[in-house]
Structure 1
């Protein structure tokens, strides 16, 4: 049976190893970092030092697509997460009442899992490592490819070259190196032409902090207006709270990198002041409600990317694949990356037979599964950046750079307005928001469109209705007051 080498032991790499190993394939995972410590899962997650994966220490969302992927392909991992304190949140409780509000097929897919990324990583790691045909090598880096002739003029993968000059034979090599997508460099070093990527900016930096509720048995400090979250994406910044496992929750602010008023969010006092001003968050951060679990963490976010190596149906080298963020990155603000990485890994494993899936099949999967979310992320990121720059007094973006809208803005605005009272429209909008149906599938449905009222031009408003966030000047002054104090 063929040997598969997976370069990277993050969510996508471990999920693929779990899926392939469960089918009896021989898998070797090359991970640059250390393994998680032994012991209880939550403690192991807390003690696992991963300087090469800084994003793991930030808030992540497992939306409806991610829950569905675990239910279908890794139910034991989902059960283990629930046993370790994670929770499933049913978003159907947010559906408006109405004569068409009866439960519909697949409504159970509108469920999210609240769990810290680090806890999920430990569970995936242990599930994959327990399989007899999966071997995880630590502190090993894949530096390049070993290639062999294939056909008249092609090349195929024969293995990987590791740091130190060693090598491992392989019939299939999967790049699971995350957003760095290191296989591009491997190909270039071998003199192989690398297909062009699609790229569009996210222009985002995030400030995040975790807390633990002091009274887990009491009522929550405030409502979750988004079902699995509180807060919103506003006209010059975002401020969102997500519950997690074991009475933990995270608050994350998003801001433009060039918005210097947000610099003070790095400090605990500035962060708390912004929480107090932001809708629905202030009650959660009082000393009586919650205890901070660490400092404010700051991270710059990558652009939206769809890798040409993942979508090329006629690659120059056969037997080389990409999975998860190595294939596609979408704006983290919209919370799709973790779920699409799991779905991509599990669906890619479905294509395996005696060897690797065909290049055409893998490219079709990447284009069909990841392409629509890249397109939506590119457009929505651009619209958010333009709105935020205007509110911050920054020069506008060049109109010529604006990505094409997958759905006309007035149609989206009409759907968001109708979703407040029409359960059928709410269901369609929610399935897009949870990555369960593409915009084309929902907004191309004649029955869905027939339920939309006329909407004024200009698109959807920023943030949930009925809530007033601070102006840019108000937020700037509140943060500055803490710095001066």
Structure 2
């Protein structure tokens, strides 16, 4: 019987396991004990921060696991039309709440992981080996044939398989494992603006809970004004708001609960998030994370690549979390994994290299979006942004400026940010002309909350601007 091993039982790993279950029996090797329900686990500390599943990722999850969206919404997840129910201050001004073009699914990371894990582990061909750590690859430079593992009691073992997928996240050791097999390290790029994340969960006001919805609120950082500081507020299940504050090098939030609301009011470019939570009831302490650097490992460019091995998820590329693209690209990469195996055939020569190139496709769009702004911050790279970096950032900046008052341009931008279409659509020759002309409507003077939303949140009318 054909067999596969997936290293890592988080979202990327579980979706990869489901992708491979169409062709083989799959063992998921996970170093933690996986909770039975939507609960925390040691290996997923970032679960306490804001997570967004953009429509491009949601469609990919649904393709692999039909019914996931209904399962999540039945448990309280929110379907948020984009940009209709988003209140966003971009580096170039407030976006209008145009007619729906895309959407996001919003819930806690714990709920999402549980929904995916429940369905994947319910598949007859998928099993999980918990409390087990992968220590290295079996095989050689031409082919990977399995993994060495260490169990919680210290005993070691070997597991053989026709294919091994590394989805162990930011802590991936794939580069060193490949070196142990006699292969060179991949090219890598790292862009680190020194971003620090601080998150806290609040109970939404009673009127908001009665309303049953609230727009996502995002104050983006402006890389032209270092340090960059911002905030986001999203509604998740059980009538809760999860609020994440962030700042780059020299403007970081800290873990002090007493200072959380003060930072939200004073540090970002607009105090809307601070005003929303000023009288909300905090339900948790503050969670702080510093592991936020963007990095990209170019495995698909390696001259030699072993059969039977692939890398995806954060093990391949990780991004500034404020863009919310990690989960969606992992889901799209899992679909690319399945489709490549289906098209080429299990065990076909060169399959692993084709898989590695295919899973890199969704990564490229998210990478361009993430680094296009972050590369401009002081200290983000060793030698500063390249001329190409600056030119790309200037073009995107002009598009964002135009999108504040041009619905067609806004739609093209959200086509990409939602990961519904590749970044190449921004090369549409009509876009530079539209960007040159600029926005068709004047800038909004403040956050476009409706009167109903303003009242439900307990804000005074002068602090906001009605939807345009």
Give me the TM-score of the superposition, normalised by structure 2: 0.81
- 1:16-165 to 2 correspondence within 5 Å? 16-21=16-21, 23-37=22-36, 44-46=37-39, 48=40, 50-93=41-84, 110-147=102-139, 155-163=142-150, 164-165=155-156
Q: Is the 8 A contact 1:406 1:439 kept in 2?
A: no
Measure how far apart 1:220 and its partner are: 8.2
Aligned residue in 2 for 1:328: 317
What is the DSSP-based 3-state SS (H/G/I as helix, E as strand, rest coil) of the residue aligned with 1:233?
coil
Which residue matches 1:231? 219
Measured against aligned partners, the alpha-carbon deviations of 1:204-261 in whole angstroms (never above 9, x if no partner) come to 111111112241544589x74xxx33433254311111222221211111112444xx
- State how many pairs are aligned: 419
Equivalent residue in structure 1 for 2:370, among 353, 360, 377? 377
Contact in 1 for aligned 2:23/2:346 (Cα 8 Å): no
1:296 Cα deviation (Å)?
0.3
1:365 aligns with 2:358: yes
Deviation at 1:316, TM superposition (A): 4.0
After superposition, the Cα gap between the structure-2 partners of 1:373 and 1:93, relative to the gap in structure 1 and judged at 3 Å, is closer
Let me know the Cα RMSD of the aligned residues. Answer: 3.0
C-alpha separation in 1, matches of 2:105 and 2:209? 20
2: CA distance between counterparts of 1:258 and 1:286? 25
**Cα offset for 1:446?**
1.9
Please list the CA deviations of residues 365-409 of structure 1 after superposition, one character each: whole Å capped at 9, or x if unmatched.
Answer: 1443212432332231122x24xx8xxxxxx98765447338644
Deviation at 1:438, TM superposition (A): 3.3
Of 426, 429, 432 in structure 2, the residue corresponding to residue 449 of structure 1 is 432
Q: CA deviation at 1:77?
A: 1.6
Structure 2: runs of 5+ lacking an equivalent = 87-96, 448-468
Describe the SS at the equivalent of 2:20.
helix
Q: Give the CA deviation at 1:146.
A: 1.3
Q: Are 1:313 and 1:363, in contact at CA under 8 Å, matched by a contact in 2? A: no
Pairwise CA distance, 1:165: 2.5
**TM-score, normalised relative to structure 1:** 0.78
- Give the conservation status (yes or no) of the 8 Å contact 2:310–2:356: no
Partner of 2:175: 184
2:462 aligned partner: none
1:426-472 per-position Cα deviation (integer Å, ceiling 9, x unaligned):
10011122222333322x1123333333469xxxxxxx96459xxxx
Report how far residue 71 of structure 1 moved. 3.3
Q: In the alignment, which of 301, 305, 312 is matched to residue 295 of structure 2?
A: 305
Distance change in 2, residues 1:93/1:407 (3 Å): farther
2:451 corresponds in structure 1 to none
Q: Counterpart in 2 of 1:208?
A: 199
Structure 1: where are the runs of 5+ without partners? 38-43, 96-100, 149-153, 390-395, 457-463, 469-485
Cα 1:78–1:441 change in 2 (3 A) is: same
Corresponding residue number in structure 2 for 1:460: none
Shift of residue 314, structure 1, vs aligned partner: 4.0
Q: Distance in 2 between matches of 1:293 and 1:402?
A: 44
